A and B are shown apart, each in its own frame.
Chain A
Amino acid sequence: MMAEDIQAKLKNYKTAPFDARFPNQNQTRNCFQNYLGMNIMWLLPVSTSWQRSPDYSKPDFHRCTKVLTAKGADTTPCEWFRRVYKSLCPISWINKWNDQLEEGTFPGKI
């Protein structure tokens, strides 16, 4: 039932909803946390598949869904994080962090 709720939420998505964890004007942490969440999500089912894959340093949304599908897990968390950080984060930040992930210099804990 949760899955239908999330699917419904994604379908009706307009922009990032209020998140009580980040109540103040400075939403930097909100953006960063969702970007991390997105990139942790596909690493979480750590066991085998991503470690064998060629360039696991790429925060590949498609890889996220693929990995979670392979595990038979619900893939909607990935999409949710992606939507939220795409709504919140400045594009230059996303590009910078993606480049850092590629280079292996991303400072966040993934």
Chain B
Amino acid sequence: MAHQAHAYHMVDPSPWPLTGATAALLMTSGLAIWFHFHSLLLLYLGLTLLLLTMIQWWRDIIREGTFQGHHTPPVQKGLRYGMILFITSEVFFFLGFFWAFYHSSLAPTPELGGCWPPTGINPLDPFKVPLLNTAVLLASGVTVTWAHHSLMEGNRKEAIQALTLTIILGVYFTSLQAMEYYEAPFTIADGVYGATFYVATGFHGLHVIIGSTFLAVCLMRQIQYHFTSEHHFGFEAAAWYWHFVDVVWLFLYVSIYWWGS
């Protein structure tokens, strides 16, 4: 019986890439079917399959790394590169929406009244809830760093506390933003102002939810003793993602909420 003579991880065959691709197909065609024929079935099927794929794929990675020891230092290095590249791609994703915003707001057309905010738009006061949201996310950046240090020092209790606090702050941000969306005097259909505002802040909010979920998974893993003080890359990846979300908000706040008002 041959043994592995290298430090890398040759992954066992897995069905999840296929189910993930199938989910992508079902979601895209499901979206088109919903647009034209008013049925949500295909879309729901796709979303369900996506959820199952994510749960099982990442569960398998945890099994391979934490329980079977396949995540040697070189393997971890690869995972780090992967997370950094992914976050970089997300930066470019948001860059596009910032481009759209600045394109329309730096040279407002006569149809808008030649001014920004356009005539008829009453923007949100940047020094009210948006400022609170900024404070909430900045604080959550501090708590997640506190959690990391606790983790590295082997302080289990404080790591759990700090991580929990981070998640609570994330949920607080999401609920404040949801309330703002509900109460705002303008909608996504209100010209280019509404479009740029809700698409940019909306995708950001989605990323806050994703980041909070990632952190919550880390919390569950920490409680179940998955992490050691030396090896906790899942947590580091979640923390990087969370800082990225925070930075995107800072740009959103300064550009759209503050300068754009």
Chain A residues with Cβ under 8 A from B107's Cβ? 29
Main secondary structure of the interface of A (DSSP, over half): helix
For A106, the closest partner residue in chain B by CB is: B113
Q: Is A108 a contact partner of B109 (Cβ separation < 8 A)?
A: no
**Whole-angstrom distance between the alpha carbons of A28 and B114 in the complex?**
10
Partner-A contacts on B (CB < 8 A): 107, 109-115, 118-120
A32 partner residues in chain B, CB cutoff 8 A: 110, 114
**Chain A residues proximal to chain B, CB less than 8 Å:** 28-29, 32-33, 36, 93, 97, 107-109
Report the bound CA distance from A92 to B253 in whole Å: 39
A43: min CB distance to chain B, Å: 16
A28→B109 contact, CB < 8 A: yes
When distances are taken between beta carbons in the complex, the residues of chain B under 8 Å from A107 are 110-114, 118-120
Which residues of A lie under 8 Å from residue B118 when comparing CB positions? 107
Distance in angstroms from A73 CB to nearest chain B CB is 25
A29-B107, A36-B114, A107-B113 are known; give 10 further A-B pairs, CB within 8 A: A29-B114, A32-B110, A97-B110, A107-B111, A107-B118, A107-B120, A108-B114, A108-B115, A108-B119, A109-B119
A-B contact pairs, 6 of them (CB 8 A): A107-B110, A107-B111, A107-B114, A107-B118, A108-B113, A108-B119
Q: How far, in angstroms, from A33 to B109 measured CA to CA in the complex?
A: 11
Q: Write out the residue numbers on chain B whose beta carbons fall within 8 Å of the beta carbon of A109.
A: 113-115, 119
Max chain A C-beta neighbours (<10 A), residue from B111, B112, B113, B115: B113
Chain B min CB distance to A79 (Å):
22
Identify the closest chain A residue to B118 (Cβ). A107
Q: B115 contacts which chain A residues (CB < 8 A)?
A: 108-109
